[in-house]
Each structure stands twice: as C-alpha cells, then as structure tokens.
C-alpha cells in the first residue's frame, strides 16, 4: 500500500512538471492571417481620423444630433413608423437616447413645483387634522376596569406565588 502511494505521488509530480514546461502564451495560431494579421486588420479597420473643434463642434464624430426633446412630448397619434418609440424609419437617434426615449422616466408636466408642494402640504394638514379630531373624540377607556380577588397577586408571581425551580433545588 505504501509503495502504491509513493508511485502515485511521483506520477503527480511528473505531470505537474510537464505542465510547467508549456508556454504561458501560445506562439502559433490556427486562424488564417486575415483574422489576426496587423496589416490586414489595419486595412479593414483604419485608424479613426481626428477632427478639430471647428470640424466637429460636439466632439461626437460628426454625428448629427436631433434636438434634445423627449419622445414623450411627440404627437402620440402621429403616423410614426415605430408607434411605441414615436420615431420614423431612418431618423437619427440622439446620443442621449437613454434619457429621451419612451422608456426613460416619465416627466410630469401637469402641475408646477409650487402647486405640487401646496398639495402635499394640504394633504399633511388634512391628515393631521383628522388624527386630531379622532384623538379628541376617542374615549379614554372602552369599559370599566376589571377587579380580581387579591389583585391576581399569586397568579402574576407575587409574594404568595409558587416559586420557580432553581438550579440548587432538589429534584421533585
């Protein structure tokens, strides 16, 4: 048994040394040169030309941005190609589309800030007013308090109650 264990350990050590001899990065590849040759990649994907501030005022690669208007404010009954997003086919999308699309947070425009704060204050006043009216008219005690013989002294663990068993007491 012991000799078999030594044989297994030596086999594991030999395999571990063989693994260490393998290079960290593979030197050759099986892909054709059109996939990973730097000259071919440079031809396929040329370097992006740098534009000046005068040529590209928004610094977004010359992309024409539509006006910063949320899609929520467009005509919902208009003849749109995409009815849900209220957008026509081929229409450029704003670079901040995540802020302007239909799935962005809804903008409430039915009231102003001052009027909204007034409505919140009115609700708080009405709530506390109703609480005050209920407090003023609510009876103190719903019924006459009950009395028990001896005031439940023994039942609630008073002087006449049976003592609980403690660690030093004898077994019953």
Q: Residue 6 domain-assigned? A: no
Q: Residue 68 domain-assigned? A: yes
Q: Residue 164 domain-assigned? A: no
Q: Residue 163 domain-assigned? A: no
Winning range, highest mean pLDDT, from 26-35, 70-79, 124-133, 139-148: 124-133
Confidence grade of residue 49 (pLDDT, cut at 50, 70, 90):
confident
Q: Residue 170 domain-assigned? A: no
Q: Residue 53 domain-assigned? A: yes
> Which pTM value belongs to this model?
0.41
Name the residue range of residue 116's domain.
37-126
CA angle 153, 158, 159 (to 5 degrees): 110
Residue showing tokens 């007034």:
118
Q: Residue 116 domain-assigned? A: yes
Spatial CA neighbour of 66 closest among 101, 104, 106? 101
pLDDT in tens, 94-135: 888 888 988 888 888 889 999 999 999 999 999 999 999 999
Domain count, the chain: 1
Grouping H, G, I as helix, E, B as strand and the rest as coil, residue 82 is: strand
Q: Residue 70 domain-assigned? A: yes
Contacts of 60-68 spanning 24+ positions with Cβ under 8 A? 60/95, 63/92, 63/95, 64/92, 65/92, 65/94, 65/95, 66/91, 66/92, 66/93, 66/94, 67/94, 68/94, 68/96, 68/100
pLDDT score of 23:
62
């Amino acid at each position: 048994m012991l000799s078999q264990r030594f044989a297994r350990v030596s086999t594991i050590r030999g395999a571990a040394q063989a693994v260490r001899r393998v290079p960290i990065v593979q030197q050759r590849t099986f892909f054709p040169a059109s996939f990973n040759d730097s000259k071919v990649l440079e031809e396929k994907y040329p370097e992006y030309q740098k534009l000046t501030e005068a040529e590209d005022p928004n610094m977004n690669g010359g992309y024409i941005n539509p006006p910063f208007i949320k899609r929520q404010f467009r005509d919902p009954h208009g003849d749109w190609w995409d009815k849900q997003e209220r957008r026509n086919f081929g229409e450029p999308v704003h670079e901040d589309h995540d802020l302007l699309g239909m799935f962005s947070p809804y903008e409430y425009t039915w009231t102003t800030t001052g009027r909204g704060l007034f409505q919140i204050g009115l609700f708080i006043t009405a709530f506390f007013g109703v609480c005050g009216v209920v407090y003023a008219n609510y009876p103190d005690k719903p019924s006459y308090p009950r009395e028990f013989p001896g005031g439940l002294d023994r039942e609630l663990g008073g002087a006449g109650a049976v003592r609980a068993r403690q660690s030093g007491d004898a077994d019953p």
